[in-house]
Chain A
């Protein structure tokens, strides 16, 4: 899937990938790739600025560690981030149901 198509949903995708556990940038990319069955293959560099933006918004927090001699920044969801993820999920369900109805070709007013 083209990166542009994912752009508008990148924040939600990143929040969802961090829900199970704290991850560093590359591990987040891998989680997104695996979770989307390799449909989403973003340019790696686009993930890091997005994570910084989420941190500035208070949705994730980061901490530094050293792994195999390399300094590594790991991100985890904040309480605010978890709340936002719940809201995004709810809103996505409504949106996707509406689009599915429209694209299914079912006549208006018909119940699925």
Chain B
């Protein structure tokens, strides 16, 4: 508990609510800012009715409701925000990681003659992975709300979609790391260690962050 929360019942209540709101910081801060304004308005109104400042604030906190109930009511909002954040991150980083691998491949003159990209099976797998990633992402965004066509879809489905998208992205990164890094490192030709290192680093970083994000989405589904 912060010093402000110890001395101010309003900040104490907001701290208690904030501690029960899982998910990205920005929507949490926006919720707390809005609730703070509401609490101060109630306290002001209580003062206008003749109460002293301390009593008006205490009453405002009591009138507001208890922290667990309010935080639980905001769970869908936070779940949708978490799902949107994960999907956005994957949609942004996906093309960057692929572009780095293409850069690494070109820097090693890795054309069709090398045999690495010459398999129709690997092409099909790549198309399947990209389609699955985009499909899961679209599903998650629809379920995360701001999609009036399907308002009945619960935010749990958004979290599931985001976690599934993360899972597919992990498979895609593992596939790129395992199938491309060895041939790129062993092929003769001009050495572009920077390109290869950047591609491996990007894939490995995304792999770790995506695994963590997917697990947190799945964990959040159980918090309802």
Which residues of A are in contact with B by a Cβ distance under 8 Å?
24-26, 30, 43-50, 52-53, 56-59, 70-73, 80
- Which residues on the A side are within 8 Å of B45 (C-beta)? 26, 30
Q: Which residues of B are in contact with A by a Cβ distance under 8 Å?
A: 30-31, 33-42, 45, 60, 63-65, 69-70, 73-74, 76-77, 80, 145-148, 151
- Residues from chain A with a CB closer than 8 A to the CB of B33 are 71, 73
Closest approach, in angstroms, between the C-beta of A50 and any C-beta of chain B? Answer: 8
Provide the main secondary structure of the chain A interface: helix
> Does B145 lie within 8 Å of A26, measured CB to CB?
no
A63 to chain B, nearest CB (A): 12
Give, as a whole number of angstroms, the nearest-CB distance from A17 to chain B.
Answer: 15
Contact of A26 among B42, B69, B146 (CB under 8 A): B42
In angstroms, Cα B151 to Cα A69, docked, is: 35
In the bound assembly, the distance between CA atoms of A26 and B74 in angstroms comes to 17
Is the pair B38, A25 in contact by a Cβ cutoff of 8 Å? yes
User: Complex formed: what's the CA distance from A48 to B33 in Å?
Assistant: 12
Report how far A73 CA is from B37 CA in the complex, Å: 9
Are B80 and A48 interface neighbours, CB within 8 A? no
> With contacts A49-B73, A52-B74, A52-B77 known, is A44 near B63, CB below 8 A?
yes
Assuming the contacts A26-B41, A71-B37, A73-B34, asked whether A46 and B145 have C-beta atoms less than 8 A apart, the reply is no
Assess the B37–A25 pair: CB atoms within 8 A. yes
Complex A-B: 18 CB contacts under 8 Å:
A24-B41, A25-B37, A25-B41, A43-B63, A44-B38, A44-B39, A45-B70, A48-B35, A48-B73, A48-B74, A49-B73, A52-B74, A52-B77, A53-B76, A56-B80, A58-B146, A71-B33, A71-B37
Contacts of B38 in A (CB 8 A): 24-26, 44-45, 47-48
Chain A residue nearest to B67 (CB atoms) is A45
Residues of A within 8 A of B36 (CB): 70
A45 contact from B35, B37, B147, Cβ within 8 A = B35
- A47 to B31: give the CA distance in the assembly, Å: 12
Say yes or no: A48-B146 contact (C-beta < 8 A), given A53-B76, A56-B76, A56-B151.
no
Residues of B within 8 A of A72 (CB): 34, 37
B148 near A45 with CB under 8 A, answer no
A47→B38 CA distance, assembly (Å): 10
Q: Which residues of B have CB within 8 Å of A56?
A: 76-77, 80, 145-146, 151
Contacts of B69 in A (CB 8 A): 45-46
* Contact with A46, one of B73, B146, B147 (Cβ below 8 angstroms): B73
Excluding A24-B37, A26-B37, A48-B34, 20 further A-B contacts by CB distance (< 8 Å) are: A25-B38, A25-B41, A44-B42, A44-B63, A45-B70, A45-B73, A49-B73, A52-B77, A56-B76, A56-B80, A56-B145, A57-B148, A57-B151, A58-B147, A58-B148, A59-B148, A70-B37, A70-B40, A71-B34, A73-B30
